[in-house]
Amino acid sequence: MTYKHAIIAFAIIMAFGVGAYEAVKSGNYPVVIVDFNLITEKEVQKDFSAAYKYFQNALLVSGSDPHALETLEAHKEIRRATLDKLITDQLIYKELEIRLKDDFKPIADKNIEQYIQNNKNISEGAEKIYGLSLADFKDQVLLPEAYKEILQGRMFLNKENFDEWMKNKKSKASVIVLSPDLQWDGSSVKLR
């Protein structure tokens, strides 16, 4: 190997190392793989933060102490539930792509816009309850729910049971959880 080749190899290794560091630092690494589709740490953290804020507010409204969520066990359970929801959302999205191609996206957008028009204080509510901007609330909460409703409606018309389909889909899905404290048991994410 010549000196020139050694310098090039070193530069490639350094570039890869810096790129990997930046990916980890920004959360752009996979935490779960669902049928060859990645769910990144960044996605999990966004949904975790919204769920955490929601549960804090729920505890405040009920008169309970929101500091109960500050335990390690509470954080693990919210993270577990967040991953479980993201896996479910991914399975629903992929099924809609199979059944309807891209035809479901305009329907979901229309339903969300109609929902926002009918709920004038939604932006303020999203900020106070979930700690999300309206755009993030649409992406993280409203869009997955709209997709679920579209699939449930399609299944109802075809006389299919959504809950049975979801149970069957989860049992057949290839789910790899890359988090050391969580695992997939064939139907949901569980704590180790």
In CATH, what number is assigned to the domain containing residue 148? Answer: 1.10.4030
How many domains, the chain?
1
Q: How far is CA 117 from CA 17, 39, 114, 139, 165, in A?
A: 48, 31, 5, 17, 32
- Domain assignment of residue 75, yes or no: yes
Chain segment 100-128, per-residue pLDDT in tens: 988 899 999 999 999 999 998 999 999 99
What is the pLDDT at residue 101?
A: 87
pTM: 0.85
Rounded CA-CA distance 76/34 in Å is 20
Domain extent, residue 147, equals: 29-191
* Separation in Å, CA 65 to CA 57, 126, 138: 10, 22, 29
Within a domain: 138: yes
Query: Residue 179 falls within a domain, yes or no?
Result: yes
Instruction: Determine which helix (DSSP H) or strand (DSSP E) holds 133, and give its type and residue range.
Output: none
